[in-house]
Structure 1
Amino acid sequence: MPGQLSTSSKHRFPNFYACYLLKSLQTPRSAKTYIGSTPNPVRRLRQHNGEITAGAWKTRNGRPWDMTMIVHGFPSKTAALQFEWAWQHPNLSRNLKDADGNGVVGRSRGLAGHIKAVRLMINSHPYSTWPLHVKLFTTEAVHAWNNAAKTYPSLPRGFKSSIELEGVDGKKESIHVGSGRTGPIDIHDTIFIKQHLETASKLRAIQSKVACTVCSSQIDFKAADPLTVALCPTSSCHAVSHISCLADDFLAHEHSKGLIPRGGYCSSCNEWTLWGDIIKGADRRKYGPSTGEDSDEMSEDDPESEAAAGLVDNIVSIS
């Protein structure tokens, strides 16, 4: 039921899950904003604007709404819900407090305030270990993002932000240059999945046993459980390693005391890669494209759901 945490032992890395920031266009001076999460931002925007059913009641009075930005790359729906709650309540999140337990950011208001808060969040643990990226869909969001960089200049290694002024659905007409996309954003992770599965197929066809790039012991690539074997996600590289070996190697080079690395260098191609992409690739080789978490959102206006998301924030911060 909505608000309950998953008890499934078979975790899936979703194809796509995003947290988004809406801004009301009801009047030229409207400052109303809304933060939510979804596996399908294009559909969700239509719901908020009343074009299709199931829009949140909190946004009915601010229509029409524009999606100004999204944060994507979450390793699970639960992670996205945790991030959503913290973005809505940055002054309350345990993950955004200093050593003395004081909040490092106040209650954010307006588009600029929310963007300033999210930039800090992306660089804070545990979010900094996730393979998160940002897409900016309006010039106002781009301006706020660049202004926030003056206060919070650093971002985690491997983080990417893109300016896509054609909008989340690709329908905006703008005098400014976008990404060149002519349709909606890709929520099926098409390029990554195709490339990763092709690399795995080539390895299975060419040879059965390969040497782990970290410990040098042999891996039977055809017989091994994909969840125990890591492939370099760089398209031109065919490096293979034990996932446990690679995790230890990445953590050692990061000089990290954590359990999960953000990323590291491939010892074969020397490209720096995100740990989240390594795990996502293993998931795709094991199960194929994800379908389990592509269902519709939990009720964002349900107090029980919000409480559950806040509980997740607390659980992750002390785990």
Structure 2
Amino acid sequence: MFVINDHHTFEQLKNITSPENVMKDEYLYKHTYTRLGGKADFYVTPETYEQVQAIVKLSIKENIPFTLLGNGSNLIVKDGGIRGIVLNLGRLADINIDGTKLVAQSGARIIDVSQKALSHSLTGLEFACGIPGSVGGALFMNAGAYGGEIKDVLESAIVVDTKGNLLHLAADDLDLEYRSSNIPDKGYIVLEARFSMKPGTYEDIKAVMDDLTFKRESKQPLEYPSCGSVFKRPPGYFAGKLIQDSKLQGKQIGGAQVSLKHAGFIINLDGASATEYINLIHFVQDTVKAKFGVSLEREVKIIGEDPVE
């Protein structure tokens, strides 16, 4: 059984990476877009693929729980935090261009990847110019916006499997569908993505990105912490419209509020707890189901433990 704050584990993790890349009892609200979440026993930020493999193998050998955090954008961490090792790949953030191919490490922001494509007049990732997640997270959920999605441009990926093996996979191997992939089921950790782009005109690409940025900034409550769009689009409906028609905009539970600007967003208005935020999600789901008979499925992932009473 894993012992919380085990000194032996702490030393092993520091030896794999470096002392500055391992933190004990780190509050995860510091690392999530919602500004929610309790403590991680060990918060680790590796700098190489080999370090990621070694950490996975350590977790297997020592039977330590293991969680990949991503960059915390499409995620709610519960108030009780996360036991064991929490991995953040934010230090793996290189982006490189090879002709019409763009290779990005998983910790790079997908927004930055779209900007890199623009700087080389490559088209295909304009839709991603406002998506707040990392490359790894974008593959994890086949992120998309404004009619585009990752599966449209992804060629291949490098991942680590649950045994710590490095795998080179084609895009088809990831079963990318609407807001989903097989990455969570397989337990893959994405390390790198290779995108197939097309030559374009800088001015045309920038015009599209500027237009999408304006639409996003004018319609979304970006001035408050949130997890972005909370719910998937139900077949034949729009989640935001259903919530709006349920008269739920402005509804609050504690410090969490259904946004007045965009009904599909729940914001951390005033020091919300994760429990309040999650309870508001459930309230919205129950209300829409009762009023319209439509089940709203969460797009956001909820992880971690409930707080100890």
> Which TM-score applies when normalising by structure 1?
0.31
Which is bigger in relative contact order (C-alpha 8 A, separation at least 6)? 1
